[in-house]
Amino acid sequence: MNTSLPDSTEADSPIGIFDSGIGGLTVLKEVRRDLPLENIVYFGDTARVPYGTKSKETITKFSIDNIHFLKNFNVKMVIVACNTASSLGLEAMKKNFSLPIVGVIEPGARAALATTRNGRVGVIGTKATIGSGAYETWLKQLDPKIKVYSQACPLFVPLVEEGWVEGDIVEDVARAYLESLKSFDIDTLILGCTHYPLLTQVIGKIMGDKVRLVNSAEETSKEAKRLLLEMHLLNEGAKKSPQIRFYVSDEPEPFRTLGERFLGQPIHSVAKVGDHFETARV
Ligand code: DGL
């Protein structure tokens, strides 16, 4: 990876993670599991969520703003937890910044290829992610023979945000989206959106136990760990317990309460950043 970091970057500099909002906490959860000693700054762009219905230009601009904000913390790496931002803005982000930036698409594609036995992979995500063809591009680049079947599931994000992760209504919606994928005889399905790991049970029930569900977040945190090792920036000898800081661009309280469900642990404090957060001093 062709990257450079300021001399002030140390192993105990934080990892920056951003998402369009709350969903990226499913990625933070995996990062905490694989890299428990790392300091982390999480930014959720809750004032401008959802990204999944927006244009490439807008998503790219927002993503670049978010990295400018995270750079205020002297982050040693940025993880783009958002599938939509990773699908449409990663190239531009890498062009604009010299620090290491890890998206979720390539790791998710690799995980799916390691999982499939019959070479038939399904992908679900937001309209923007599916429209970009990013997962398909990566899957085919890594294995040109792979067959990819994609389906946008735009109602999944609002359902999860409302806490509807089980029951008849969510099952009916999921069935409507997933029935056609089932007919393609896929054996692997990429959950190509931050929110979908919370629907694992429902999606698994509809797809049946012959279809393995791939959570891109798991492979992404492993990729982040590999890179930190390579750069000798793993915070191995940490003396202090790691600090996890949360920032959002809109009201902190809804993020804090729903966030605990995504993260599966208490969130004690969330700070709201101002309107021009990308240039904010923290
Ligand atoms: N975080 C987004 C993703 O993973 C889902 C929410 C949104 O549309 O912004 O694609």
84, 132, 135, 151: residue to mutate for ligand 1 pocket, most atoms within 8 A of CB: 84
- Gap from CA of 241 to ligand 1 centroid (Å): 30
208 by DSSP, 3-state: which? coil
| Residue 23 CA, closest ligand 1 atom number | 1
Contacts of 168 (CB under 8 A, 6+ apart): none
- Gap from CA of 252 to ligand 1 centroid (Å): 18
Select the CATH number that applies to the domain covering 15-104+218-277 from these four: 3.30.420.10, 3.40.50.1860, 3.30.420.240, 3.40.50.720: 3.40.50.1860
188 by DSSP, 3-state: which? strand
83 lines ligand 1 (CB under 6 A): yes
53 in Cβ contact with 64 (< 8 Å)? no
Contacts of 235 (CB under 8 A, 6+ apart): 11, 12, 35, 37, 38, 39, 242
- Amino acid letter, residue 215: N
- Tell me the catalytic residues: 82, 193
Q: Cite the beta strand spans of 99-172 per DSSP E.
A: 101-102, 120-125, 147-152
CA–CA distance, 102 with 113 (Å, rounded to integer) = 19
The string of pLDDT tens digits covering residues 13-63 is 999 999 999 999 999 999 999 999 999 999 999 999 999 999 999 999 999
273 by DSSP, 3-state: which? coil
Was domain 105-215 assigned CATH 3.40.50.1860?
Answer: yes
226 by DSSP, 3-state: which? helix
Residue with tokens 């990257």: 3
Domain ranges across the chain: 15-104+218-277, 105-215
Cα–Cα nearest to 79, from 222, 212, 272: 222
What's the first-to-final CA gap in the chain, in angstroms? 29
30 lines ligand 1 (CB under 6 A): no
49 lines ligand 1 (CB under 6 A): yes
Count Cβ atoms below 10 Å from residue 68 Cβ, excluding itself.
Answer: 15
Closest residue by CA, ligand 1 atom 1: 82
- Gap from CA of 20 to ligand 1 centroid (Å): 6
DSSP state of 22: S
| CA-to-CA separations, 79 to 43, 63, 87, 216, 245, in angstroms, rounded | 11, 11, 13, 12, 15
Q: Say what the pLDDT of residue 161 is.
A: 86
Q: Say what the pLDDT of residue 3 is.
A: 75
Closest residue by CA, ligand 1 atom 2: 82
Q: Say what the pLDDT of residue 277 is.
A: 72
Q: Return per-residue pLDDT of the chain as tens, 282 residues.
A: 557 777 778 899 999 999 999 999 999 999 999 999 999 999 999 999 999 999 999 999 999 999 999 999 999 999 999 999 999 999 999 999 999 999 999 999 999 999 999 999 999 999 999 999 999 999 999 999 999 999 999 999 999 988 899 999 999 999 999 999 999 999 999 999 999 999 999 999 999 999 999 999 999 999 999 999 999 999 987 677 899 999 999 999 999 999 998 898 999 999 999 876 766 555
Q: Say what the pLDDT of residue 4 is.
A: 76
- Gap from CA of 107 to ligand 1 centroid (Å): 17
Angle 50-100-263 from CA coordinates, rounded to 5°: 45
103 lines ligand 1 (CB under 6 A): no
CA–CA distance, 58 with 68 (Å, rounded to integer) = 16
Cα–Cα nearest to 94, from 73, 108, 77: 77
